[in-house]
Each structure stands twice: as C-alpha cells, then as structure tokens.
Structure 1
C-alpha cells in the first residue's frame, strides 16, 4: 500500500470510528474530529487518490483559476469545470430576477425527489449557458466575491493598497529561501462575513526550503474529507511542484493540517466503499519543458503520468 494514500484512508477510518456526531451549517450532519495531520512525501509520487478516480483536469483548472486571481466561474465553465457552480447558482435562484421553479434547499431535495432533480438540472444548464454566453449576467451572478484568487493575488488593505501575496512568496523563496515568512493567507476577517460565497476552507499555507527541496504546509479550517480533501491534497501538491520547478528546487513534503475534519452523514456509504478498495501505485507529474512561471501557467503545462484508479464514487455536495 502506498504510504501517501494510506494516510488519507486511515484518517477516514478514524473519523468514522471516533468522530462526534455534529450538526452543521448545511443541515446535513457530520461525523467530525478536531485536529488532524497527514504528511505526503512528494518524492514518492503524486498524491492523487487511486481508491476512487479523481479528475486531475478539474484540479489543475481550479488551481489556475486561483493563481490568476479570478473569482468568476465563467473561466471554470470554459474549461469544463463545474466544481463551484452550486454557490453561484444559489446566489441566482435567491435573487429577485429568478422566476423559475422553487430551488430552495436544492442540494438536499434533488437527492430525495427525482422530479425535482430533473427541474434542477434544467435550471442549472440554463444558468451555465447564461454564464458562458452573457458577460453581464456572468459578472452579476458568476462572481463569488473575495474568495481564494482575490486574497492570493489582490488582498486589499485598509489603506486602499493591494498585496500580491503569491507573487511576493515566490520571489521570497527565490531570494531568501531560509525565511520563515513564506506564507499566503486566504482568511480575511473583513471579507468573511459579507463578501464571500463561501469563507475559505483552506485558509493559510506556508512554504519551507531545506536540502534544496520545497515543502508546503496547509492549514484547512474545515475539511470535507470525502469530496473536498482529495482535491485539496492534489491541488497544493501540484502548486508545490510548480513553484519548486520555477525556483529551481526539488519537491519535499506536503503537510496537510486540518481543523474540523468531517465526513457528511450522507457520504458514509461512499467512504466505506472506498475503504474496501486496494490502492494502486501513485502516478507522477510531468511539467512542460517550456514552463517558466506559475503566473503564466496553462492547462497544457502539466501532465499526469501513469494514473490508475478505481472508478469514481458520486456523492452530493452540501451547499
């Protein structure tokens, strides 16, 4: 068994066996633990789960979206990425301009009512088409506010200035690798209450250079272990690979520190199915020889090599 995936699978077992039954913002309910850590040696392979298929292209396009400083789902939809649709869709169906079917509590109702699910899918397809074809509509309903990309690349200060945290950190790694200040934070207390579709779950990350290797530690305040965390692991592992490549370093570890780590009650069967599977060897990442800067990254600059996995496992998103 691969050590990297084993860390994730063992945490799933621990949350199921020891987790507290807790209510949550979505009304779904969770098995929850507070405080956990997984370590992934990036020299051993790229930590994309193999016990269920995880779409690497979605991870890469979302990361590019963050790095660009973009906060509008139009970019994601142009790349076939539907990860953030529900939060933008919720804003639209709660607006006074929406005149379609009642979409209240759509995340839960679509799982319990096939007729409602069919109406939801029709409304979502219409919404996505409007986002792609109508820039004014996209600007109004496709933007998610001051989420990750905004905080990473365009943090606004009380003096009206902006800070490009990610660019500053890359330059610091290049010129002052021993610094203990290679930090990017997405948690902006001023924006959290009113200006974000979803307050950042992966709240802060820090880079560390030793033995010519770049490591990264992420603090994630809220961790959806089945749906979200596999994406987070791969996304920050990929970011570490890319910045290490730009800075002329090898990759070290990705350390994933979690606050409230939880499995939603309606994901338990899916997790148990995943735990019954035997992992495959981990894949690797190939970076295009022409790649020079993370800020010029395109989807074609990275390639996932030798990825073998079990089939995907579907589960509802709690919105």
Structure 2
C-alpha cells in the first residue's frame, strides 16, 4: 500500500465517522439543479508526504499528473488567470466570456512588489530567496489578497505556500520542504489533485535550487465530502491500494521557466478504474 493511499483512506474515514454534517444549514455551494450542496466536514486536517520516500499519487483511482502539472505551471510559471492558457477545462465554470477568472491565482503570482533587494513577483521572490538566503523563515507566497477578493470569480482554495530548507545529515545536501495551506478542500474531486500538483511544484523548485525535495505538509482548514459524493467515497476507499508510482523530472532543466509537462516522467503507475460522472458543486 502506498502511504498516500493510506493517508487518504484514514482521512475519509475520519470525516465520515467524526465530521460535522451541514445539512439544513446555510451553504453557498449548490448543485447544477439548484439544490444546496451540503457536506460532511472536518476541521484542521494535517497530512504529511515525504517525497524522498514516494510520490503522493493516489492509486485508488488515477490522478492526471500531467494535467495537474500543467495547472500549477499555469499559476506559478505562466502566471495566468485566463483559462485559454490552460489545457484542461477545470476552471471553465468560473471563467467569464473572455476566459478570465478575475484577479485570482496566476494574476496574484504575477503582481510585482517592492523589496529592499528590488522588484519581484511572488514566484521570482521565492526563487531569489532560495538561491541567496535559503535558511530564511520568510519564504512564502499568498494568493488570498483581501483588496482583490471582490474581483475574483472564485476565492483561492489553496492560497499559501511556505518553504523551509533543512539539511541532510551526512552529505549535507539541502532539502526543500513546504507547507501548503488550504482554506477549503473538496476531498473527492480535488484532494489528491492538489497534493500531486504542489508536490510537483516542490520538486521543480527544489531541482532549480539545487536541493532535494523533502516533505510537503498539507494543512486543510475545511476538508469536506459533499452529500452526493458519500457513496462514491465509500466505494473508493474500499479498494485495495497499489504501490506508489515512480515520478521524476527531466534532470537537464535548471530554469523554472523552462519546465513543460514533457519534462514529467511517470513509471509503474498502477491504479484502479476512474470514477465517472462525479457531480461538481458550484
């Protein structure tokens, strides 16, 4: 059993057995037919994934790793807020007629800020600090910009990454770790998607910073399973997990802005059949 599957199964069981049911309460999300989308939710989930041991791709069903990588590059590398720059259609529900999702995600990563060392956007500031001051405790990003929330078509769910460098005993190799903060997580549709894409981001940034990817800590304030997803989750966590796949990046890439999905290599990824026709709350 992969550790990622083990974490996912235990998290789902905890939510279903010990979570708060929001049925009858005032909720914002709704189903396409207009029915309120209620959840069973758990507060303060903290999951840890050590990328030195395995890549955290779910085997209970397939996670589209190249699409996950494309989305994280859309935000962090291309710094786009337009779905026409994204190869999947995940964000189409929140895009306007021009394809924009407003001042969200990639838009915020591309805004330049003044620092003592010069003018940087958030991506470039992270890369600069890891290169010049890797043991800083101030290497973080934030997409939840209150002054722009009214111009975002969707408030950021995964909104902050905090990077922290440690050192391997023995060889002295620098290890890049990160904490992903998420205010809200739809466990069925998005949990492993988010884990995989930010694990890939950690791997890419570690590689161009001449570091080893270490631990990704995923903090979720509100981890929830929608009412119409409960039987799907129950079926999913009843499956027998496979071993984790081997995932690696093209070692020839040393510039974060040169990565493409062609640089992602996945080997021995065994997985169960996909769950089809998952309803998505809006």
Q: CA deviation at 1:152?
A: 1.7
Question: 1:282-297, aligned counterparts within 5 Å?
Answer: 282-297=244-259
Aligned-partner Cα distance in 2 for 1:156–1:150: 13
Find 2:55's aligned residue among 41, 46, 50.
46
Length, aligned pairs only = 262
CA 1:62 to 1:143, structure 2 compared with 1: closer, same or farther past 3 Å? Answer: same
Is 1:4–1:39's contact at 8 Å kept on the other side of the alignment? no
1:25 partnered with 2:18: no
Structure 1 stretches lacking a partner, 5+ long: 93-140
Alignment deviations for residues 241-268 of structure 1 (CA, whole Å, 9 cap, x no partner): 0011001111110100110110011111
1:202 partnered with 2:158: yes
SS of the residue 1:191 aligns to = helix
Residue in 2 aligned with 1:316? 279
1:4 partnered with 2:9: no
User: TM-score scaled by structure 1?
Assistant: 0.79
Aligned-partner Cα distance in 2 for 1:84–1:295: 23
User: TM-score scaled by structure 2?
Assistant: 0.89
Structure 2 stretches lacking a partner, 5+ long: 30-35, 168-173
Aligned-partner Cα distance in 2 for 1:34–1:45: 27
Q: Which of the two has greater helix per residue?
A: 1
Q: CA deviation at 1:39?
A: 0.4
Residue in 2 aligned with 1:153? 110
Runs of 4+ in structure 1 off by over 6 angstroms are: none
Residue in 2 aligned with 1:230? 192
Residue in 1 aligned with 2:171? none
Residue in 2 aligned with 1:142? 99
Aligned-partner Cα distance in 2 for 1:16–1:162: 47
Residue in 2 aligned with 1:75? 85
CA 1:155 to 1:262, structure 2 compared with 1: closer, same or farther past 3 Å? Answer: farther
Q: CA deviation at 1:69?
A: 0.5
Residue in 2 aligned with 1:169? 126
Q: CA deviation at 1:169?
A: 0.8
Is 1:154–1:162's contact at 8 Å kept on the other side of the alignment? no
Q: Which has the greater radius of gyration?
A: 1
Residue in 1 aligned with 2:94? 87
Aligned-partner Cα distance in 2 for 1:284–1:153: 32
CA RMSD of aligned residues (A): 1.6
Aligned-partner Cα distance in 1 for 2:126–2:191: 24
Is 2:4–2:57's contact at 8 Å kept on the other side of the alignment? no
1:180 partnered with 2:190: no
Q: CA deviation at 1:53?
A: 1.1
CA 1:261 to 1:278, structure 2 compared with 1: closer, same or farther past 3 Å? Answer: same
Q: CA deviation at 1:289?
A: 3.1
SS of the residue 1:316 aligns to = coil
Aligned-partner Cα distance in 2 for 1:305–1:188: 39
SS of the residue 2:127 aligns to = helix
Q: CA deviation at 1:5?
A: 2.3
